[in-house]
Structures are given as C-alpha cells and as structure tokens.
Structure 1
C-alpha cells in the first residue's frame, strides 16, 4: 500500500521562485500561482497584459508557458515528478495548467540545471561574430519540439532576408504608434520588482554594430545593420493560433533558452514582428507559405566571454505571486 507524500511549503516556494525567473515580455511577469498539498496551479494575470501590443494575450500566454517549463524542470531537479494538465477547466480560461507533484529521484544533472536556471537572462548586447552552426540551431529547435512546441531554424537566405525586413517594418510601425510607445515606456525603469531597468539595456558602446532592439527609436531601413550570417534565426509556429499553442510555444521557448544558456549562446525574442498584424500576416504568407501561424521569432548568437553578464531584471517576491490553499 502506497502512501501519499505532501509537498513541503518550502518546496512549493522554491519551485515558484525558480519558475518566476522565466522570461516575460517587458518583464511583466503576467502569472499567478496557487499551491496545495500536492499540486501547483498556474494562472494568467490579465492585469499585467500589454493591451496595446498584445491584445489577444499571445505574449502573455507565451510568457506563462516559459514559467511552466521552468517549474517542471525545477521540480524535477528538486526531487519531484510532475503530471501536467494544460487548460484543465474550460470554465476558468485563466487557469493555464495544473501540476500534480509526487516524489521522484532528481536527475544527475540537477545541480547544473538549477545553476543554469539561475543564470538565464536576456542579453540584448551585440553577439560575437562566430557563426552559430546550423546543427546547433536544429538542436535548439528539436529541444523545443520535445516540449510540444513547433520550432524550426530559418537557414534559407531568402527567408532570413524576409524575416529581417519584417522585423524592421514592425519596429518602425510600433515606433510610430504613440499608444504602443507609451505602454512600453510604462514598463521601463519601473521599479525594483518588474519592468526593464536601465542597466539591463545595452549601453552606447554595446550598441555599435548591434541589431536594433525594441527599446531604441526607429530609423529607416538603411540605418540598421544587415542580418549577420553568424546569427541564428528560429521561428515558433503552429497550425493553430490559440492559447493552447501559445502555452506550448512558451514551454518550448523555456527549454530552448535554458539550452542556449548552458551552451554559451544568447537568445533575444523578436516578438514585434508577431505583434503587428500586417507583419504577422506577411510572415505567415512569405516565410511559412500560409501553412502555419507564426507565434514568435528569436535571434540566437554567441555571447562574448570577455564581458561580464548583463544586469538581471528584477522579480516580484514569491509572496506576491503564490497563494497557498
């Protein structure tokens, strides 16, 4: 006869603490957690949704998916297996996932995994000139696919050119949108718990030769550097453009980012091209051949080993995001 083992409150706190280190758009941290004696539930937090640039909640759900990935990996590293039900209650659309926890042996790589989860961050500084091999890009895509997402590396020159052009167009459209710019500004230099602080953004020296990021002003197409042949570009896609696909894509993003971190790579999401309806539609037609919906584009490159890591973006305390039943 087997007995049920309750999950210590300290363990629930630790899993959620690690999960909330996941990336989120503008560091909005749009999640809430509820913990019980043997489970954790993940909820979307609509109060933290970007209404101007993410009216459908795509980026919000992707962000929550990354946190869901981190929670599963953290639980396993701490000696707890997880059984995950995604969207378990249609009457509660904000309830994205329920994790049932049971004791299990931690993997041999547990210590390294926890260290990588702690190191993971968004590094917006310029990449090195070393090329990212196609096999390395394919490996990252396979890891995302293993988590139920759909991702592929864009290695064809014409596809990469189109993708880069659409990223520039989306950046220009959003830069001319006063409401979108005000929303972005509201999440910069916000405080000590969320948002993107100044020291997490590249300085002037780091911007020389770097690709434009969403926190810079817009310029014309000729003012931006061409897509470097050394960069990797990967796209998350799905035949459906709904919350289930977004959540899975977020889990795949978490897996991809963790692998990039352990492998010395930097990953930068390029979500603007999906946020702007016209460039999202063009990407679907011109890059994906109208066969699937684009969900997220990411750029991958080698981190410089001669520079210290960038400043970490802040996180809300666990007490603000975890409710214990």
Structure 2
C-alpha cells in the first residue's frame, strides 16, 4: 500500500510559514527542496548569505535555519501532518542541514497552539515597560527550551549587569573593526522594496537612557525622522544554551529559540534578540549563567523579554525564491 505524500501546494504553504523565522540580520540563509517522488523536503544553507567576518563558522546561519525548521514543524502539525526530521543526514555534505519526512496523522501535537504566533512574532528594538514578566510565564519559556533539548537561563540582577558589560565590550570591538561594520552594513539599512536585511524603519529609536542591550545598526548613517527614547533600566534578559556546541546543536538551538519566541509571543510578550557578544569568540562564554545546568553549557543567543509596542514585520523573500519543487529524486 502506497503512502500519500504531501502535495507540493501544502509544502509550499508550510515553507511560507517557515521563512517567517528570525535570522541573523534577516539574511534568511535557507534553501528548501521538495522531492515529490519521495515526499522528502531538504533544508540547505544558502551560502550566498554567509557572513565570514561576524559568523565565521556559520553558527548563526544554522540557528536561523533551525528556527525556520521549527516553524515548519508547527505549520505542518497545524495542517494535520507530523514531521520526522533527520538533522545533518550526509556527513559528506555539511551544507545539507536536514531531511524532513511528512506523515498525515490524526494525533494531536503539542506545538499546534503556537501556529497563530508565527505571523505575530517580531524582533523588537523598541523600549519595553519596566513591568516584570510573571514567573509563571518565564517558567513556560524555560519549559519550551527544555522541550527541544536546550536550556533557558533567566538572568538575575548581578548577571544582567555582567552581561550588559560584555555586550558593551562587543559594541566597542565592533566599532573598531571596519571589516565587521562593512559586513553588517551590507545587511542593514535596506530600503523599501528590499526583501531581506533589516530596513532602516526597523532600527528602532536611538537610546538616550536605560541599559537594555539593543543593537544600533545605524553606524552613524543618516536615518531621517528617527526618534530617541529611554529604554529599560532593569531589562529582563535570558540566555539560551545547548549541551554541546556542534553544528547539530546549533540547529537544535534554532528550534528551541523559535519555540521560546513563539511561546513568548502567545503569552503577550515582546522579544528582542542580541547576538553581538556571541559573534566574538572571546566574549561568548562570558554570557553563560554559572547556575545553569548542563543543558545550557554553550550560549547560543541572548534574549530580551518584556512588554512593548507592536512593531511591523521585517521583509521576507518570496517563497518561490527559497523553495525548489523537484519531481525527481535526490
């Protein structure tokens, strides 16, 4: 008896949701290929979107692709399909990140309730209120990370201060490196009609008070009508980590990150990501919470959580640019 494969139109819809995931500087480093004859979807790195200076080992690219992979899982589950994922299926082909098999199922999936959050999730560079995040919601975010095999450490006051110092040092290092600034500038300050990168409209206000770690992508470039604002003095910060630090762990980190972000969005939180210190090998390890367990030994992302205003979505490439449908076999 033959097994029904997902229709290309269904897979296209799921990939359309997948690519709403966050990625480093919104570079969108993913490419999908669906083989209709086998019903398998392949996820690859798009190396034309690499950042050799600030992401030399492609860790950030893996994290972004992992986030897209989690969105894919949620979208398929919402449509009544289960996913079986084999990460890094070919040791001879490191750019091939995952092979995904879909199966129609009537069983409920515990991620389907996150589906509506996919389109609502944003990376915000706006100030958040000083209102604390309820402990129960923070606990739910920790559970979300653990469900993917990762750990989420919500930082205490003393560690927040230490991490803010680390981020400030990363900012200074970045300011002194013309090569880093040029690479980042390539992906930021994009204008209307661009389908990738961070547009000037998403820079958020200049900070003239507060200590929230919000990256300023302006680099002194003129940004007409950009306002200034006071950010949080006591930001709620969390560090997502993984038990190990191999490419498969980076992919896992991306799935855990997106699960946390969608759970936060569903809970009414605004979220912001900061990878600045993580882009510097000498600073990355200083983000680790010494109280965290073995599931968070290797820091993968710094998150800022809170209650902020709604912000518009950043642009995305058309699904036809990132998905290839092939009737043959791999």
The TM tier, using the shorter chain, reads: 0.7 to 0.9
**Stretches of structure 1 lacking an aligned partner (at least 5 in a row):** 219-223
1:233 aligns to 2:237 (yes or no): yes
Aligned equivalent of 1:273: 277
Select which of 170, 191, 194 maps to 1:192. Answer: 194
Aligned positions, number:
312
Shift of residue 232, structure 1, vs aligned partner: 2.2
Could you tell me how far 1:176 is from its partner in structure 2?
A: 1.8
Q: Render the CA deviation track for 1:237-291: whole Å, top value 9, x for unaligned.
A: 2342221111111000010110111111111111111111221143359787999
CA 1:262/1:207 → structure 2, altered by over 3 Å: closer, same or farther?
farther
Counterpart residue number, 2:52 = 51
8 A Cα contact 1:235 1:297, kept in partner: yes
Please tell me whether the aligned partners of residues 30 and 46 of structure 1 are also in contact (alpha carbons under 8 angstroms): yes
In the alignment, which residue of structure 2 is the partner of 1:221?
none
Q: 1:73 to 1:209 in 2, by over 3 A?
A: same
2:304 aligned residue = 299
What residue is the counterpart of 2:98 in the other structure? Answer: 97
Q: CA 1:215/1:262 → structure 2, altered by over 3 Å: closer, same or farther?
A: same
Q: Does the 8 A contact of 1:44 with 1:96 survive in 2?
A: yes
Match of 1:166 in 2: 166
What SS is found at the alignment partner of 2:44? strand
- Quote the offset at 1:296 in angstroms: 1.5
Secondary structure of the residue aligned to 1:179 is helix
Structure 1 residue 145 displacement after superposition: 1.4
User: Secondary structure of 2:153's partner?
Assistant: strand
Name 1:73's counterpart in structure 2.
74
Q: Which residue matches 2:258?
A: 254
The aligned counterpart of 1:245 is 249
Shift of 1:60: 0.7
Contact 2:71 2:258 in 1 (8 A): yes
In the other structure, the counterpart of 2:179 is 179
**Structure 2, unpaired ranges of 5+:** 221-228
**Are the structure 2 counterparts of residues 207 and 78 from structure 1 closer, same or farther at C-alpha, using a change threshold of 3 Å?**
farther
Secondary structure in 1 matching 2:188: coil
Other structure's SS at 1:189 match: strand
Counterpart contact for 2:149–2:242, Cα < 8 Å: no
Q: CA 1:285–1:76 in structure 2 vs 1: closer, same or farther (change >3 Å)?
A: closer
Query: Once the 2 structures are TM-superposed, how far is the Cα of residue 136 of structure 1 from its aligned partner?
Result: 2.2
Q: Report the alpha carbon displacement of residue 293 of structure 1 after superposing the two structures with TM.
A: 2.3
Query: Hey, what's the Cα distance between the residues in 2 that align with 1:112 and 1:150?
Result: 21
Contact 1:127 1:302 in 2 (8 A): yes
TM-score, normalised via structure 2 length? 0.86
Partner residue of 1:13? 12
TM superposition shift of 1:75:
0.6
Distance 1:128 1:167, change over 3 A: same
Mapped to 2, the partners of 1:236 and 1:188 lie a distance apart of: 25
Cα–Cα, structure 1 residues 210 and 282, in superposed 2: closer, same or farther, change >3 Å?
Answer: closer
State the 1:115 CA deviation: 2.5
